[in-house]
Structure 1
Amino acid sequence: MYALLILDIQVGLVHGPEKLWRCEELLNTLMDKARSAGAPIFLARHIGPAGSPIEPGSPRTMVAQELKLLGGEVVFEKRRPNAFEMTDLADNLRSCGATGVVVTGMKTQYCVDSTCRAARDLGFDAVLIAESHTCSDTPVMKAENIVAHHNATLDGQFCQLVRAEEWSF
């Protein structure tokens, strides 16, 4: 069984100063697919140190209202790009019978990348939905190119790359 993992779709990033490159509607579609199949849904919220804009308790760390939460989702805090590092994610996945994780969310070059790589190292089948992760432009590369680069780099060695319409839980 696969669980859905949504990374850092939170107020401070979705509504922050950097413009994101698409994906909100795809995350809700994946959540609907996971719910219909009875697959667990995990949402990570990135928390920064005290005094930072995303310090513990900051409204910027709350799940963005664009995601349709219906209850039953597991929302957890992480402090590192890798969602498994210093969290109970791996134990929680195993305890609900998940052998794989479908990774979505943001930011592609940080948390999505490091979580895909870590999932395989921890014995989980990792699936990356090609069009369900995002980031913003950087001074050296457009977000669309960052996503395309990571899709090509991660596919095969670190995860299975799948288009949303081809995936079912």
Structure 2
Amino acid sequence: MKNLLQQYKPFLLFLGKFLLTYVLLTVIYQSYLNRFDANKNEVDSFSQLVANQTISVLTLFDAEAYNQQHLTEPSIKIIYKGQYISRIIEGCNALSVIILFISFIIAFTGKFKRTIVFILFGSILIHILNIARIALLCMALYSFPEYEHILHGVVFPLVIYGIVFLLWVIWVNKFSLHATTTAKK
């Protein structure tokens, strides 16, 4: 048994760090969300920020766009070119994706300063790309509403998770302690 633990020690350490970080950040995020009453259709502040930033991006392209509180559910309506196109719910803010990203980075340990910088850079990049993703999705849904399922359910999640995966690959191969150990061999 001791031999097995020794053999799988790197994997078990990775898994332990990942799970501990993921659970801790998820509990913190959930306690933040609990401050908002879904029964009163309250939307969390970060999702409101995402909706506002999406509108800013849409109006950059000379499009008439605005948002408004949904009256019957905890979401924010996106009105694009006079048409109700989509809604922003808590799941659209990409914070759960950022939590997953951070958990992986911490689990694949790197030097402290590099880890913090990469987490900040990656989180900001994911946030910016998420705003662009939502804005592009609104534009695409306006022109091609019949493709909502494939656009919202396949293409755009593939983009955001693809970027996260690419960031993980860069982290593991360039900045983690694993990368520096492998480079020395």
**Same fold? TM cut 0.5:** no
TM (normalized to structure 2)? Answer: 0.25
Q: TM-score under structure 1 normalisation?
A: 0.27
More relative contact order, 1 or 2 (CA 8 Å, 6+ apart): 1
